[in-house]
Amino acid sequence: MGYDTTDDYQSLRVFMANIRRKIEDNTANPRFILTEVGVGYRFVDE
């Protein structure tokens, strides 16, 4: 019983990649959605 967290993390990574493709000019060097290792994602509005 319970949830499989591996699937949850993979789903989140795919979701964030799709958002980055829509809003970032260069997905290899994102400006707006940054990955914070050990924390998650951070939205930066510059």
Q: Are 24 and 33 in contact (CB under 8 A)?
A: yes
Other beta carbons less than 10 A from residue 25's beta carbon: 8
Predicted pLDDT of residue 26: 96
Residue-range domains of the chain with CATH: 5-43 (1.10.10.10)
**Does residue 1 carry a pLDDT above 60?**
no
HSE-CB of 24 using CA atoms within 13 angstroms: 17
Could you read off the pLDDT of 7-42 as tens digits, one per residue?
A: 788 899 999 999 999 999 999 999 999 999 999 999
Question: In which band, very low, low, confident or very high, does the pLDDT at 5 lie, cut at 50, 70 and 90?
Answer: low
Q: Pick 5 or 8 by higher pLDDT.
A: 8
Predicted pLDDT of residue 8: 81
